[in-house]
Amino acid sequence: MLTVLGIETSCDETAAAVVEMDQSGKGQILSNVVRSQINEHASFGGVVPEIAARSHIQVLDGIVEQAMREAGKDWTNISGVAATAGPGLIGGVIVGLMTAKALAMAADKPLIGVNHLEGHALTARLTDQVAFPYLLLLVSGGHTQYLLVKGLGDYERLGTTIDDAIGEAFDKTAKLLGLAYPGGPAVEKAAQKGDAERFSLPRPLLNREGLEMSFAGLKTAVRTAALKEEPVSEQTVNDLCAGFQKAVADVIENRSARAFQLFKDRYPEVDPVMVVAGGVAANDAIRTRLASVAKNHNATLVAPPHALCTDNAAMIAWAGLERLNHLSSKNPNILEGNGKGDDMDMSPRPRWPLDQMSESVLGFGRKGAKV
């Protein structure tokens, strides 16, 4: 049995969680504390990095204490400390990673620096024991990409947005229509009362080969349509939100169909599974569309519960557990926490692509990289 404390501070949630893994590799969440900073950023219409970092510093110790208390664990029962080491807002990542290093050092436990995206990628193995390989659609405020998850630490990016992330497009659309921050839930709510057919909005790159996506033009089309309607009524806002959301869902449906085909070509003997993760995966209209495209391809869609789709520390603890489990099977000494073989010398990374291909091309944010 391994038990890991996870810490997440890469954006505007301060989170800590304790998760355990039994000998069969099955996980259980013992505590999962998330404190959102939404109210601190709301009046700015988006996350202010300096405010985020300061707020993480103020509350993180208490959040960690609460996670340990709710899990009923003390340091003797903890096998390791995992923290997001990137990608994300650098001030916040520094706060979380340095706190984790201090805790690991004081308690003589190994430190695991986790890629935030790997946390999202592996959540479905915690909730649904999904086996490798599988498809991952990661849709959040900062990322929109299809990935092939081949194994632990073995990811291949199949396609990505060439401009805005979907969550970002939801947030910007909400802002230009005068809706509250964060925009995703606000646009979804307004869309329920709207007519998706009233405005004709573009579906960028829909007919292009491959899995690339683009959302900036769609957002601009919403702006242009809204300007023509000035002064914009509540019904117009609802109709624009409905049209925008439907266009996004159409693009996702089209790209996901291609992703399933690609998976089947690559792994003809494996029943295809697509995992959807990231904050936008909380959108029910998008989930419904994904479920129908999966059904049409005799595939399974795995969508973790909403609270585990948005940023949280249980996913970081779980990614840490998967790594610690793998490392300790090769080198049991790592569990002694003497800093040998763990990530104690890891630097916080603002950028950190999951797949090795983009990493070697970009090299950005890597320790010692020339950028």
By CB under 6 A, tell whether 118 contacts ligand KG4: no
141 binds, among ligand KG4, Zn ion, none (CB under 5 to 8 A by kind): ligand KG4
User: Is residue 11 part of the contact set for ligand KG4 (CB under 6 A)?
Assistant: yes
Contacts of 360 (CB under 8 A, 6+ apart): none
CB of 287 to Zn ion, least distance (A): 17
* Cα separations in angstroms, 247 against 107, 197, 201: 51, 10, 7
Strand locations in the chain, DSSP E?
2-8, 13-21, 27-36, 80-86, 111-115, 134-139, 144-151, 154-160, 273-277, 300-302
Please state whether beta strands 134-139 and 273-277 pair in parallel, antiparallel, or not at all (unpaired).
parallel
The reply on whether position 14 binds Zn ion by CB under 5 A is: no
- CB 192 → ligand KG4: shortest distance, Å? 11
Q: Which residue lies nearer to ligand KG4 by CB, 91 or 167?
A: 167
Position 142 contacts ligand KG4 (CB under 6 A): yes
**Considering CB under 6 A, how many residues would be counted as binding ligand KG4?**
20
Q: Choose the binding region for ligand KG4 from 39-47, 221-229, 273-281, 359-367 (rule: CB under 6 A).
A: 273-281
Instruction: Compare residues 79 and 140 and give the one whose CB is closer to Zn ion.
Output: 140
CA 351 to chain centre: 14
CB of 106 to ligand KG4, least distance (A): 29
Nearer to ligand KG4, 135 or 277 (CB): 277
Is 46 one of the binding residues for ligand KG4 (CB under 6 A)?
no
Closest contact distance (angstroms) between CB of 359 and Zn ion is 19
Q: Which residues pair with 27 in a beta bridge?
A: 21
> Does residue 188 interact with ligand KG4 by CB under 6 A?
yes
Residues 113-172 that bind Zn ion (CB under 5 A): 140
Residue 188 or 343: which CB sits closer to ligand KG4?
Answer: 188
Instruction: Give the side-chain half-sphere CA count within 13 A for 136.
Output: 34
Please state the closest distance from residue 137 (CB atom) to ligand KG4, in A: 12
Among positions 47, 112, 241, 280, the unique one binding ligand KG4 when judged by CB under 6 A: 280
**In angstroms, rounded to a whole number, what is the distance separating the alpha carbons of residues 54 and 57?**
5
**Rounded distance between C-alpha atoms, residue 211 and residue 255, angstroms:** 6
Q: Does 87 bind ligand KG4 (CB under 6 A)?
A: no
Q: Which partner in ligand KG4, Zn ion, none is near 171 (CB below 5 to 8 A by kind)?
A: ligand KG4
**Which amino acid, residue 167?**
G
Pick the stretch among 107-115, 145-153, 178-186, 343-351 that binds ligand KG4 (CB under 6 A): 178-186
Binding residues for Zn ion, rule CB under 5 A, total 2
Strand ranges across the sheet with 27-36: 27-36, 13-21, 2-8, 80-86, 111-115
Q: What is the dihedral of CA 299, 300, 303, 305, to 10 degrees?
A: 170
283 sits near ligand KG4 (criterion: CB under 6 A): yes
Q: Is 141 or 272 the residue whose CB approaches Zn ion more closely?
A: 141
Cis peptide before 231 (omega within 30 of 0): yes
Per CB under 5 A, the segment of 60-68, 236-244, 254-262, 305-313 that binds Zn ion is 305-313
Reported in sequence order, the residue ranges of 161-298 that DSSP labels E, i.e. its strands, are 273-277
Structure tokens at 99: 């706190």
Query: Where on the phi/psi map is residue 230: left (φ > 0), alpha (ψ -120 to 50), or beta?
Result: beta
Determine if 99 is a binding residue for Zn ion (CB under 5 A): no
Least separation in angstroms between CB 31 and Zn ion: 20
Three-state DSSP class for residue 128: helix
> Which residues are near ligand KG4 by CB under 6 A?
11, 140-142, 167-168, 170-171, 182-185, 188, 278-280, 282-283, 310-311
> Which residues are near Zn ion by CB under 5 A?
140, 311
